[in-house]
């Protein structure tokens, strides 16, 4: 998936950021982190490690005790917090839609505050509802209580993107819905991110979600200490410390399959036309799942044109996983 930065994306830099509360609790000790423009970075770690505090310091809902947070080189401490938050989209676990406003009114909240023209707001709202998979004609005039949990979450994402923010912050955005809806929302958001290419910082407690969603994952320990910041495949294949190794678990090899693509060098000529089929863009995890479901040791790989491109065997797949883990 191409996630290069578009025109409305910004680099986020945290320089020696520290947060100590008045009673002496150290929420974040000293964090240095950079999120590239157009990148989706995931913050993950045990409960109480400062993930949400870090997110809230970026949009100044929490004020850092020390250090600097820069968005495209500009220190957020020097920006009026109200102005800053209108430039940053924010999606939270329970959405926080205004219950007595329609979907259209909810999505148009920030553009109205910015005094956009009425026609521009209406066009932007309809466009975003389409992007998040909600037909404006069907859902635009509904109220939050008339929507499912997944639909409300989609409206929350659309509202966060309404004023075309430089940055999108997401705090456990999909955790309040059931696993099936959660998977669909994750897929929809990745599709959306491929189109809008925002700089996203997302908090989750779910490692599988982090691996699926993140361009890079920041594993945090107590007091917001950064244990490792890496692409999912690197994190799973080469944990940087015992803490990270324990956190990602003994089954990290299986998780790693989900971020390893089917590459040309893995394919051999087709020898069994009765094997299950997977698309060329599938992951090795998808291929292994298809083998296990069908009770076979091979799958046929189908190109975007529908033609067979080759055969992938379980032996080849597992050899690639073992070889990747040893590098």
Residues 192-227: tens digit of each pLDDT: 888 888 999 999 998 888 988 999 999 999 999 999
Tokens at 92, concatenated: 């939270």
Rounded Cα gap, residues 58 and 232, in angstroms: 23
Q: What is the pLDDT of residue 1?
A: 36
CB 168 within 8 A of CB 10: no
Q: Which residues contact 288 (CB under 8 A, 6 or more apart)?
A: 257, 314, 317
Tokens at 39, concatenated: 């990148």
Rounded Cα gap, residues 204 and 173, in angstroms: 8
Q: Are strands 167-171 and 88-92 parallel, antiparallel or unpaired?
A: parallel
Tokens at 76, concatenated: 């957020």
Tokens at 232, concatenated: 């999912």
Q: What is the pLDDT of residues 257-290, one digit of tens each?
A: 777 788 888 888 887 778 889 988 888 888 888 8
Among candidate residues 120, 145, 125, the one with its CA nearest the CA of residue 137: 125
Q: Could you give phi then psi for residue 174, rounded to 5 degrees?
A: -115, 10
Rounded Cα gap, residues 44 and 226, in angstroms: 10
Q: Which CATH class is domain 12-252?
A: alpha beta
pLDDT of residue 292 exceeding 90, the answer is no
CB 166 within 8 A of CB 8: yes
For the chain, the domains span 12-252, 260-326
Q: What is the pLDDT of residues 75-115, one digit of tens each?
A: 999 999 988 988 899 888 766 888 999 999 999 998 998 89
Interior/surface letters 172-192, b for 16+ CB within 10 angstroms, e for the rest: bbbebbeeebbeebbebbeeb
Q: How far is CA 123 from the centre of its chain?
A: 26
pLDDT of residue 43 exceeding 50, the answer is yes
Q: What is the pLDDT of residue 323?
A: 66
Mean pLDDT across 121-138: 92
CB 76 within 8 A of CB 60: yes
CB 103 within 8 A of CB 155: yes
DSSP state letter for 283: B
Domain 260-326 has CATH 1.10.3720.10: no
CB 256 within 8 A of CB 279: no
Q: How many CB atoms lie within 10 A of CB 14?
A: 23
Q: Which range among 141-150, 183-192, 245-254 has the greatest average pLDDT?
A: 141-150
pTM: predicted TM-score of the whole model, two decimal places: 0.80
Rounded Cα gap, residues 152 and 139, in angstroms: 11
In DSSP notation, 224-274 reads GEEEEEE-HHHHHHS-SSHHHHHHH-TTHHHHHHTT-B--GGG-B----TT
Q: What is the pLDDT of residues 142-152, one digit of tens each?
A: 999 999 888 88
Give the HSE-up count for residue 3: Cα atoms under 13 Å, Cβ half-sphere: 19
């Amino acid at each position: 998936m191409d996630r290069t930065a578009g025109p409305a994306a910004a680099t986020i830099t945290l320089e020696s950021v520290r947060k100590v509360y008045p009673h002496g609790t150290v929420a974040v000790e000293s964090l240095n982190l950079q999120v590239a423009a157009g990148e989706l970075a995931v913050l993950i770690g045990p409960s109480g490690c400062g993930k949400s505090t870090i997110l809230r310091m970026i949009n100044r809902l929490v004020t850092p005790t020390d250090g600097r947070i820069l968005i495209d080189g500009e220190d957020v401490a020097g920006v009026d917090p109200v102005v800053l938050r209108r430039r940053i989209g924010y999606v939270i676990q329970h959405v926080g839609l205004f219950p007595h406003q329609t979907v259209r009114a909810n999505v148009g909240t920030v553009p109205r505050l910015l005094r956009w023209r009425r026609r521009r707001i209406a066009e932007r709202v309809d466009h975003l509802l389409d992007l998040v998979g909600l037909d404006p004609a069907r859902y635009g005039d509904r109220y939050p209580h008339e929507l499912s949990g997944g639909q409300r979450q989609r409206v929350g994402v659309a509202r966060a993107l309404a004023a075309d923010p430089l940055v999108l912050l997401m705090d456990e955005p999909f955790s309040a819905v059931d696993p099936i809806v959660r998977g669909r929302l994750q897929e929809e958001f990745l599709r959306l991110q491929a189109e809008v290419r925002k700089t996203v910082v997302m908090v989750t407690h779910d490692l599988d979600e982090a691996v699926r969603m993140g361009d890079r994952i920041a594993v945090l320990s107590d007091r917001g200490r950064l244990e490792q910041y890496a692409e999912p495949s690197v994190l799973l294949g080469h944990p940087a410390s015992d803490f990270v190794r324990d956190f990602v678990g003994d089954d990290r090899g299986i998780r790693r399959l989900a971020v390893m693509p089917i590459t040309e060098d893995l394919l051999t000529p087709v020898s069994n036309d009765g094997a299950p089929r997977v698309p060329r863009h599938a992951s090795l995890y998808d291929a292994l799942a298809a083998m296990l479901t069908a009770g076979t040791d091979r799958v046929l790989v189908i190109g975007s044109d529908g033609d067979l491109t080759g055969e992938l065997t379980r032996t080849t797949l597992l050899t690639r996983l073992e070889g990747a883990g040893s590098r």
